[in-house]
Amino acid sequence: MSLLEVAGLTTAFKTRRGEITAIEDVSFTLAERQILGIVGESGSGKSVTALTIMGLLPNPPARIASGEVRFDGTVLTRLSDARMQKIRGSGIAMVFQEPMTSLNPVFTIGEQLMETLRAHERLSPKAQRERAIEMLTRVGIPSAALRLGDYPHQLSGGQRQRVMIAIALACRPRLLIADEPTTALDVTVQAQILDLLLDLRDEFGMAIIIITHNMGVIAQTADRVLVMYAGRIVEEARIGALFDRPLHPYTRGLLECVPSLEQDKARLAAIPGTLPDPASRPRGCRYAPRCALRIEACTAAIPALLGIQGEHAAACIRATPS
Amino acid sequence: MSALIEATALEKHFAFGEGRLLSRRSGRLRAVDGVSLRIAHGETLGLVGESGCGKSTLGRLLIRLIEPTAGAIFFEGEEITRRPTKALREKRRAMQIIFQDPYGALNPRMRVEDIIMEPLLIHGAKSDGPTRQKVSEMLNLVGLPRHARDRFPHEFSGGQRQRIGIARALVLRPKLVVCDEPVSALDVSVQAQIVNLLQDLQGELRLTYLFIAHDLSVVKHISNRVAVMYLGKIVEVAEKRELYAKPLHPYTQALIAAVPVAHPGNRASARAARARVSGDVPSALHPPAGCRFHTRCPYVMTICRAEEPKITEPRAGHEVACHLVGSS
Ligand SMILES: Nc1ncnc2c1ncn2[C@@H]1O[C@H](COP(=O)(O)OP(=O)(O)OP(=O)(O)O)[C@@H](O)[C@H]1O
Ligand SMILES: Nc1ncnc2c1ncn2[C@@H]1O[C@H](COP(=O)(O)OP(=O)(O)OP(=O)(O)O)[C@@H](O)[C@H]1O
Ligand code: SF4
Ligand code: SF4
Ligand SMILES: [Mg+2]
Ligand SMILES: [Mg+2]
């Protein structure tokens, strides 16, 4: 059985311009200990997917229009707020892009860590303190015992993200969702944090969903990958297959348009055009206006995400096994 | 090749914490601390380094948007450091900047035509037919439709706004353009469009670029030479292939090793290569003594904590400031 099953998930928002569907018909599963990468450009629906799973989108304006999320056999999308609260933290935990906004500036990091522990486990104050020190040490905060009394602003950006990871992992969740955990960080620190996440997966055996717009971060971490475009999954594959035999023209475009350190390119293969506005998406395949392989049939209906080669699936009527 | 622009021993200090008597955090922040560099005609010099190391400050100093605390700048062989503003005017025209944030850099209440025309008017042109014609040419050059003239910035996507910013910077036909993270805020599919555009324009208009970015892959793609900055200093500069293939400074090595792999097959080897550098960039307010990288350097020696390494040139055109290189 999968740890997480997401089936046909569609989340809509009420906006001034009417209702928009931020994500549409999103389905995937995640096994224990697996690292799933979700990659896509701005507005593709990565964060909304994560926040819907976590039950963190306020209704209104957000509304789950259809589909369900099942975690460890329990349907989360029908859970009361109180029970969902329990799952958050000990079952599923989340780390956000901007560690400063998700840490409370008026409490020390020790207080915030122990607060999380208290909410989920019965521990003596001494045991809480010990666990807090252990977690901070584990995520690479030097002299952790001394840093418990520090306020968030006294830490560097990289240290704050480490503290966020420590808080997220304090109750040993079985699934960690990391939404652009390194986007705001410098490259040397980004590399350290990604390595840390991989080590923690090995050590604690949790599953991870890592959300990013950076194909390099995916190449660095994921076992399996979902590629999202304009609210829909357009490709799903094991990591090796995605990089060696990308099936969807958008995925190929994403891989080709970035320069690489390993290979010189005289000119970048840019994807023409821009991402569609969610309020006025093109008919049929949403990538069609930018796609070099477009034929008339592409605009007739939204292509379904179909298995092309084993577990490798793409939502493109022209995708064929290689 | 002759230098279009050259800087020697440039410094820029910012005062901070003034008036807070009890604060030990008051004094001067040396955002740029003794930087010398030259950029040849038609060349692209890439400038990389982590947040707060002084890249933008250096870029702004070079084109005289801000005053240096010390040091000298030469443009086409002429010193422009201590010139009165009026005498600078012609040189200023020849030096422009493109900013990272296409949203913040454009006046939201101005039409695109007026945004692009403004620099011409500041430099004495009249708002007449020929001037408008120049604006139309610029729009065409950066790949925007003619009707863009009458629209406002918010009606455009991020990539298109960056095109407007580029048109505005180039309308005065500058020689040197400081590109300060021009693609960092854009989606990757749009980044490539703008990088290609900047390369095309460089060829057509014979531009010289200082290209600032934190993405080492983009910098490698677009530059001829690359300079690496750490806490206010340039620690290494070389022709790009040389720099990426044979980095001499441990910080450059760490930066290159930190770039996410392009293919999952290279994960393990990449990880092994970067295992040694730890920690974050220290605060620029209290930079470490001696070599500023010594708190993170895997090769740190006693001398590194005491003495600042001088710039040496172990190979022609490859400069580096590190005691490891000096002593060998
Ligand atoms: N609170 C909201 N109200 C209305 N629309 C929203 C809201 N939150 C998200 N959306 C819309 O849903 C779509 C998906 O947004 P989402 O934040 O999931 O994108 P993302 O893939 O995480 O992008 P990014 O890389 O920029 O973080 C976007 O079109 C966005 O404008
Ligand atoms: N006007 C200013 N007043 C005071 N300090 C400043 C000012 N401008 C920059 N600084 C400081 O100077 C240092 C260098 O800043 P700068 O913006 O040049 O860095 P950067 O390398 O461009 O960073 P980033 O990659 O984040 O853009 C930083 O510590 C910054 O806080
Ligand atoms: S369905 Fe058609 S337009 Fe869409 S990605 Fe495939 S070929 Fe391109
Ligand atoms: S001077 Fe010393 S501390 Fe600095 S980079 Fe070289 S070896 Fe490392
Ligand atoms: Mg997001
Ligand atoms: Mg900057």
Give me the residue spans of the domains in chain B. Answer: 3-17+27-94+172-281+291-327
Distances (CA, A) of A273 to A7, B34, B79, B160, B192: 31, 43, 44, 10, 11
Pick from B60, B44, B46, B58: nearest CA to B213: B46
pLDDT at B190 over 60: yes
Pick from A32, A15, A13: nearest CA to A173: A32
The pLDDT assigned to A100 comes to 59
Predicted-complex ipTM score: 0.88
The pLDDT assigned to A1 comes to 75
pLDDT at B24 over 70: no
Residue from the list A159, A243, A258 with its beta carbon closest to the beta carbon of B217: A258
More confident residue, B64 or B328: B64
Quick one: residue A246, left, alpha or beta (phi over 0 = left, psi -120 to 50 = alpha)?
A: beta
Q: For residue A265, give the 3-state DSSP assignment.
A: coil
Contacting residues for A97 by C-beta, under 8 A, at least 6 apart: A179, A180, A181, A183, A184
Question: Hey, are the CB atoms on B189 and A41 less than 8 Å from each other?
Answer: yes
Give one DSSP letter per residue of B67-89, joined into a string: --SEEEEEETTEE-TT--HHHHH
Beta bridge partners of residue B34, listed in sequence order:
none
pLDDT at B23 over 70: no
Residue at A282: amino acid letter: P
The pLDDT assigned to A99 comes to 62
- What rounded mean pLDDT belongs to chain A? 92
Average pLDDT over residues A186-207: 91
For B220, what's the count of Cα atoms within 13 Å in the CB-facing half-sphere? Answer: 20
pLDDT at B92 over 80: yes
What percentage of chain B exceeds 90 in pLDDT? 75
Q: Starting at the edge strand that comes first in sequence, how are the strands of the sheet with B27-40 ordered?
A: B27-40, B3-16, B70-75, B78-79
The pLDDT assigned to B17 comes to 57
Residue from the list B157, B188, B262 with its beta carbon closest to the beta carbon of A274: B157
Cα separation, A64 vs A44, in Å, equals 17
pLDDT tens by residue, A237-246: 999 999 999 9
Cα separation, B213 vs B259, in Å, equals 13
A99-113, B64-78, B162-176, range with the lowest pLDDT = A99-113
Across A132-141, A181-190, A207-216, the highest mean pLDDT is recorded for A207-216
More confident residue, A86 or A303: A303
Question: Hey, are the CB atoms on B255 and A243 less than 8 Å from each other?
Answer: no
Cα separation, A75 vs A78, in Å, equals 6
Cα separation, A248 vs A320, in Å, equals 10
pLDDT at B22 over 60: no
Rounded to a whole number, what is the largest CA-CA distance in chain B? 68
The pLDDT assigned to B327 comes to 52
pLDDT at A278 over 90: no
pLDDT at B278 over 90: no
What is chain B's alpha carbon radius of gyration, rounded to the nearest angstrom? 21
Cα separation, A215 vs A14, in Å, equals 31
What percentage of chain A exceeds 90 in pLDDT? 69
What percentage of chain B exceeds 70 in pLDDT? 95
For B118, what's the count of Cα atoms within 13 Å in the CB-facing half-sphere? Answer: 13
Pick from B98, B219, B46, B160: nearest CA to A259: B219
- Find where tokens 């607060």 sit: A115
CATH topology for B3-17+27-94+172-281+291-327?
A: Rossmann fold (3.40.50)
pLDDT at A263 over 70: yes
Cα separation, B297 vs B288, in Å, equals 12
Compute the distance from residue B119 Cα to the ligand 3 centre, in Å. 43
pLDDT at B21 over 60: no
Examine residue A61 and say whether the peptide bond preceding it is cis (omega within 30 degrees of 0). Answer: yes
pLDDT at B103 over 90: no
- Find where tokens 């003619």 sit: B146
pLDDT tens by residue, B216-265: 999 999 999 999 999 999 999 999 999 999 999 999 999 999 999 999 99
Cα separation, A39 vs A115, in Å, equals 33
Ligand 4 close to Cβ of residue B292 (< 6 A): no
Residue from the list A159, A216, A261 with its beta carbon closest to the beta carbon of B244: A261
Ligand 3 cavity residues, CB under 6 Å:
A 248-249, 285, 287-288, 291, 293-294, 298, 303, 316-318
- What rounded mean pLDDT belongs to chain B? 91
| CB of A279 less than 8 A from some CB of B | no
> Token pair for residue B309?
């390494």
Q: Which atom of ligand 1 is nearest to the CA of A50?
A: 18
pLDDT at B288 over 90: yes
pLDDT tens by residue, A140-177: 888 889 889 999 988 888 888 889 999 998 888 999 99
Ligand 3 site-directed mutation target among A293, A305, A308, most atoms within 8 Å of CB:
A293
pLDDT at A83 over 70: yes
